[in-house]
Amino acid sequence: MKKDIINAMTVDVEDFFHVSAFESVISPDDWHKFMPRVDRNTKRLLDLFEQHNASATFFVLGWVADKYPELIKEISARGHEVASHGFSHRRATEQTPKEFREDVIRSKALLEDLTNKEVVGYRAPSFSIGYDNEWAFNELSDIGFKYSSSTYPVKHDLYGVPEWPRFCHQRKEGIIEIPISTISRSTGNTGIGGGGFFRLYPYWLSKQRIDKYLQEESQPYNFYFHPWEIDPDQPRVAGAGLKSKFRHYVNLSKMENKLIRLLNDYKWQSFSDVYL
């Protein structure tokens, strides 16, 4: 039965120096000092997806699109959905409504110019729409997005709205919100949607949790990760805290093989194909 379920694959297209884990030691003003690796890493993912007949939603950071326009065109030309990850990778919690709106509009316009397609999906950096900035959904709806994937209903030190809905739902602002997948336990929700925990845990445990979700819930599963996660040779960032370094670097050398197993074990399409 699980083989017949179509699940949703997503990629947050950003580079290793963009991540929130390193924001205390890398300013956006310093991004130009780093040699980008996102172009080749993303092309490797495109090849892997093609080999396994999988399609995905690529939530593209506007900064990346500005630097690598041909990459964005290739993502679209190879049959994947291009969606917005904002332009500057600032968390929505750190922006005013005006700043948020300008950032998102800038990203959406650039991606639509490159792909000649309407961009209907958005994901906030670090899942940073929550209790204190629900106004962001109004902005997204007004700008013309059909869906967002900006919430993770778990407890986490950087993000999380554990009391919010766990599944795809229509919000009162007129936009569809698609949370990252979780399994529900008596102690609370456990995130199973990818990220550092997917790299940390053995694949058999991740698969066990995914299968549990698919067996218990009448919902598709969704997964997220980043191109830098298949790049164990990326430069090491000096000065970051031990927790941040661990989260970022744990098991990078194992990620590509785990991803290949994931692509083999389940069927994958984009958010728009699965949810809209």
The domains of the chain, with CATH numbers, are 2-275 (3.20.20.370)
The pLDDT of residue 156: 62
CA dihedral 199, 149, 107, 58 (to 10 degrees): 50
* pLDDT tens, position by position, 59-76: 999 999 999 999 999 999
Lowest mean pLDDT segment, chosen from 22-31, 179-188, 205-214:
179-188
Q: What is the pTM of this model?
A: 0.95
pLDDT band for 1, please (50, 70, 90 cuts). Answer: very low
Cα 145 to chain centroid distance, Å, stands at 16
Per-residue pLDDT band at 154 (split at 50, 70, 90): confident
C-alpha 34/C-alpha 217 separation (Å) is: 43
Which are the contacts of 248, defined by CB distance < 8 A and separation ≥ 6?
16, 19, 21, 22, 196, 237, 240
pLDDT at 158 over 80: no
Proportion of the chain above pLDDT 70, given as a percent? 97
Cα gap 99→144, rounded to integer Å: 17
Q: Tell me how far apart the alpha carbons of residues 27 and 20 are, in angstroms, rounded to a whole number.
A: 10
